[in-house]
Amino acid sequence: MTNELEERISIEIESRKEELLDLLKELVRFRTVSPPARNTNDIQHFIQGYLERMNFQTDKWFVYPNDPNVVGLLRGKSPEHYNSLIINGHVDVAEIGDEQEWMSPPFVAQQQGSYIYGRGVADMKGGIAGALIAMKVLQELGVTLHGDLQFQSVIGEEVGEAGTLACIERGYTADFAVVTDTSDLHIQGQGGVITGWIIIESKDIYHDGIRGKMIHAGGGMKGASAIEKMMKIIAGLQELERHWAVTKSYEGFPPGTNTINPAVIEGGRHAAFVADRCALWITVHFYPNEDYEEIVKEIEQHLYAVASADPWLKDNPPKFVWGGKSMIEDRGEIFPSLEIDADHPGTRSLINVYEHLLTETPTIEMSTSVTDGGWFGKANIPAVIFGPGKLEDAHAVNEKLDIQQLVNFTKVLALFIVQWCNTKKGE
């Protein structure tokens, strides 16, 4: 890529700031709040049309009713020899809370000073708008790409519905992926999250009047309250959590970031019964170098050991239901971890473009949140999280995005696309 081409691309994007903001305003107008979800068909139809006008081949399919994914593919001139790239973003946004607390309607994006306000501007319709404008500028300037360029507009990230996983399962892959989610233009990896249900069930059901025979000497009734036995399970989880805090660490994370949160508990029939069932919903955070399948094994092994030391739990051991593809449909989710490889050619290329264009060194770190980026790591597709917006503005009332940061993101992404997709594989 010549200095002349770099300058042309940068100047062109700068001159299209209003077009970029108009596109973001248009994206914000689509009320894609999740939950309740099932409301993204219109915005995905809009994005599909935008991609097709740029000569992308598109694929649209429904992951859930009225919630489709859209993938656009722009074939390179010599894809077998040059690097391919995925640009990924989710179109769903967080709930707005009390609309009266917003200084302006949340789905009518407003510019005030150096910021634009509206639900989703930071998380993450700003990243989508920047990516679309970056690709449009390259197309209109007639820039040749030798490797394939793929844009994934996915659903469900806010509620763990893994639209990105659906793309991977459909066969979409590349040599590198950039998830344009909220990162304040830092280049990030992430830890992971998995939810799970721990269930204790009695083989027998007892009237509340029988309880005395269960708990007093000589009662002769080998029964127990599932709620009370869940207290032992919770204590076991706390022991394991403390053990992890002492024995595990990962650079970039404060000690003890790997947590086991007992989030929701459900149990019992009503007051006339001894509780014969109790279910605990937990949220587990783990480090980037850990896989959720191994984490699940650690927890189960520990709790089976706890149960084996209890006369009743030994015969009524806990059952487990892990993860899920939707917090809405099956009350469970998985966000795999993503280790960032700072020496990977794709990461190095992005760093180089950032340094050259913005004349500063980017921050390379681990996100304190989770995104769909982990699904690329799980699929062995090298990836980073890199997008505009600050995490403290995501999900917030009066969500905002720095306009110049959005412009800078668009420039960096456009130049990175040119550099990466015109680099031979293996170089």
The mean pLDDT value for 267-282 works out to 92
The one catalytic residue in 157, 365, 372, 402 is 157
Interatomic CA distance for residues 290 and 259, integer angstroms? 13
Angle of CA points 402, 189, 138, to nearest 5°: 55
The mean pLDDT value for 213-226 works out to 74
For the chain, the first-to-last Cα distance in angstroms comes to: 15
pLDDT at 217: 62
pLDDT surpassing 80 at residue 255: yes
157 annotated active-site: yes
Percent of the chain topping pLDDT 90: 91
92 annotated active-site: yes
pLDDT at 274: 86
Q: How do residues 88-103 score in pLDDT, each as one tens digit?
A: 999 999 999 999 999 9
Interatomic CA distance for residues 366 and 388, integer angstroms? 16
Q: Is the CATH code 3.40.630.10 the one for domain 3-190+338-421?
A: yes
pLDDT bracket for residue 220 (50, 70, 90):
low
pLDDT surpassing 80 at residue 280: yes
DSSP code at position 203: S
Helix H or strand E encompassing 381: none
pTM of the model: 0.94
pLDDT surpassing 90 at residue 218: no
Q: Which phi and psi angles does 348 have, rounded to 5°?
A: -60, -40
Q: How do residues 36-66 score in pLDDT, each as one tens digit?
A: 999 999 999 999 999 999 999 999 999 999 9
| Omega before residue 35 within 30° of 0, cis | yes
Q: How do residues 344-378 score in pLDDT, each as one tens digit?
A: 999 999 999 999 999 999 999 999 999 999 999 99
Asked whether this chain's domains 3-190+338-421 and 192-322 adopt the same fold, the reply is no
The one catalytic residue in 67, 92, 123, 290 is 92
Q: Are 248 and 258 in contact (CB under 8 A)?
A: yes
pLDDT at 94: 97
pLDDT at 345: 97
CA distances (Å), origin 145, targets 78, 176, 292: 8, 15, 37
Lowest mean pLDDT among 23-27, 126-130, 248-252: 248-252
Higher pLDDT, 214 or 6: 6
pLDDT at 3: 87
Neighbouring residues of 356: CB distance < 8 A, sequence distance ≥ 6:
6, 415
Lowest mean pLDDT among 132-141, 221-230, 241-250, 413-422: 221-230
What amino acid is encoded at 234 in this protein?
I
pLDDT bracket for residue 211 (50, 70, 90):
confident
pLDDT surpassing 80 at residue 160: yes
Q: Are 386 and 130 in contact (CB under 8 A)?
A: no
Interatomic CA distance for residues 35 and 42, integer angstroms? 17
pLDDT bracket for residue 216 (50, 70, 90):
low
CATH number of 192-322: 3.30.70.360
Mean pLDDT of the chain: 95
Torsion sign (Cα): 10, 14, 19, 21: positive
pLDDT bracket for residue 162 (50, 70, 90):
confident
Angle of CA points 354, 376, 25, to nearest 5°: 60
Interatomic CA distance for residues 42 and 37, integer angstroms? 12
CA distances (Å), origin 47, targets 29, 41, 53, 264, 386: 13, 10, 10, 38, 20
Locus of tokens 């456009």: 414
Domain boundaries, the chain: 3-190+338-421, 192-322
The mean pLDDT value for 321-338 works out to 95
Question: What tokens does 421 get?
Answer: 């997709």
